[in-house]
Amino acid sequence: METVEYDVVVIGAGPAGENAAQYAVEGTGMTAVLIERELLGGECSYWACIPSKALLRPIAVADVTADLPGVSTAHVAPKALLERRDTWVSNYDDSGQADWAKGAGLAVLRGDARIAGERTVRVSSADGDVVVRARRAVVIATGSAAHVPEVYADALPWDSRDATGVVDVPERLVVVGGGVVACEAATWMAALGSSVTLVVRGHRLLSRTEPFAGEAVLAGLRERGVTVLLGTSVEAVRRSDPEATGTGRVHGGPVTLTTTHGELEADEVLLAIGRSPRLDDLGLSSVDLTADHVTGGRLPEWLYAVGDATGGPPLTHWGKHQARVVGARIAARAAGEVAWEPDREAPVPQVVFAEPEVASVGLTEAQARDEGHEVVVTRVPTASAAGTSLLRDHVAGESQLVVDAHTRLLLGATFVGTGAGEMLHAATVAITGGVPVHVLRHAVPSYPTASELWLRLLEELPPSFRTPPGV
């Protein structure tokens, strides 16, 4: 069997794997190989972030025009919208990513990788098996897979790949779940013409964000004709003639879901109930490790993990951040050095591209109190700055800062409404840099931009927060 050797071996060429390889070897003279069994660029580029946002942006623009005198109202054109999606996923062709890898000096090996011993990975493909040895490090960047509980399996439900890769728009679509995928997919599937029913086990949407954010998205979905059933669980699923017709095609005859509140009939059911790190069949037992060692960060010095595979926040930008950190650690260790890292843990930002948009970073009020912080919370309608209310006639939602009462540092921020995602990074910078609110008051946003909402939020804090504690 052929054996090849590189300094760094990365399993999985999604955004996290690509960045880990790049940052580990850049400027070092070391070599790295990316091993990928599907498409270079991973889930994010073809079946997750990129297609979903390519679908959602025109829908958001059309939505704004309906609320903006002075322009004709735009309407979603389903065929053109799906063509835009196809362009953004490069028609599921990864040659652009392959060119990028070549330009970055990274080797690419196509196939299914399994760890086969210390610093050793076996790659299987139609061309046969190759043993790949790592002189320095192996990085696990295998991503995550959608949950499909047993009760759904025989019905061949849609997962997020079918929703982002939609070809046939089902007339009646049931979406199960109340998280990010469910809220975003319900938005684009309704805009494409499906009659959408969202079945949510819990009593709110987006349960990891502030309750007022989930309420705004619930109202937004209902305004757009989506039926949302809260506190409803699926007990049984039946489907006539289930058939593996391919990604984005309707997978057979009508589906009947028995729920705690009666039966639902649909032409398709989309499962959006979370994802788990893809660590099965990775050969971890060959080096006496389990998936728990990976998600718990208890790995030997030659083995690293990044991205969704770590079990951390499953977000592309977070995986890429981890990858830059891990890449720098590998490069520094190879040079007999220790990589510089800030003392402060980076906060995790997230934007949910629903209508309205929800952007958050750091701790929610409840999380901050649970962590023992005494907090001061300031919340204003998102429409309360000239810059935000100029964006459209009716700006939905509220925005909020959570501030530590003693240190006066920002712990968390949530923005809801048009432009929310673009207001978020200032909060991320403030938390990362440890900028207290009395200093933030002197960061002047331009008039009349949406960022002026920051002034409104800071003005709502107690007057004593305008100077350092004790001054």
Ligand X SMILES: Cc1cc2nc3c(=O)[nH]c(=O)nc-3n(C[C@H](O)[C@H](O)[C@H](O)COP(=O)(O)OP(=O)(O)OC[C@H]3O[C@@H](n4cnc5c(N)ncnc54)[C@H](O)[C@@H]3O)c2cc1C
Ligand Y SMILES: NC(=O)c1ccc[n+]([C@@H]2O[C@H](COP(=O)([O-])OP(=O)(O)OC[C@H]3O[C@@H](n4cnc5c(N)ncnc54)[C@H](O)[C@@H]3O)[C@@H](O)[C@H]2O)c1
Binding site for ligand Y (CB under 6 A): 149, 176-182, 184, 201-202, 207, 272-275, 314-315, 350-353
Question: In the complex, which residues of this chain contact ligand X (CB under 6 A)?
Answer: 11-17, 35-38, 42-44, 48-49, 52-53, 112-113, 141-143, 160, 164, 181, 278, 282, 307-309, 314-317, 319
What DSSP letter does each residue of 44-108 carry, written as one string?
Answer: HHHHSHHHHHHHHHHHHHHHHHTT-TTSPPP---HHHHHHHHHHHTGGG--HHHHHHHHHTT-EE
Residue 308 contact among ligand Y, ligand X, none, beta carbon within 5 to 8 Å by kind: ligand X
What single-letter amino acid sits at 257?
Answer: L
Residue 182 contact among ligand X, ligand Y, none, beta carbon within 5 to 8 Å by kind: ligand Y
- Report the residue number whose CB is nearest to ligand Y: 179
Q: What's the closest the beta carbon of residue 289 comes to ligand X, in angstroms?
A: 15
- State CA 468 to chain mean position distance: 37
Residue 455 contact among ligand Y, ligand X, none, beta carbon within 5 to 8 Å by kind: none
Residue 42 contact among ligand X, ligand Y, none, beta carbon within 5 to 8 Å by kind: ligand X
Strands 2-11 and 128-140: what pairing?
parallel
Q: Based on CB atoms, which residue is closest to ligand Y, 203 or 394? A: 203
Residue 352 contact among ligand X, ligand Y, none, beta carbon within 5 to 8 Å by kind: ligand Y
Q: What's the closest the beta carbon of residue 173 comes to ligand Y, in angstroms?
A: 15
Q: Which residue in 390, 437, 395, 392 sits closest to 413, CA to CA?
A: 437
Q: What's the closest the beta carbon of residue 44 comes to ligand X, in angstroms?
A: 3
Q: Based on CB atoms, which residue is closest to ligand X, 49 or 426? A: 49
* Element holding 181 (H helix, E strand): helix 180-192
Residue 50 contact among ligand X, ligand Y, none, beta carbon within 5 to 8 Å by kind: none
Q: What's the closest the beta carbon of residue 207 comes to ligand X, in angstroms?
A: 17
CB 399 within 8 A of CB 384: no
CB 450 within 8 A of CB 388: yes
Q: Based on CB atoms, which residue is closest to ligand X, 1 or 71? A: 1
Q: Which residue in 380, 396, 422 sits closest to 222, CA to CA?
A: 396
Nearest-angstrom CA–CA distance, 191 and 77: 9
Residues 6+ apart with CB under 8 A from 302: 118, 119, 134, 136, 137, 138
Q: Three-class SS of residue 17?
A: helix
Q: What's the closest the beta carbon of residue 460 comes to ligand Y, in angstroms?
A: 28
Q: Based on CB atoms, which residue is closest to ligand Y, 381 or 421? A: 421
Q: Based on CB atoms, which residue is closest to ligand X, 24 or 141? A: 141
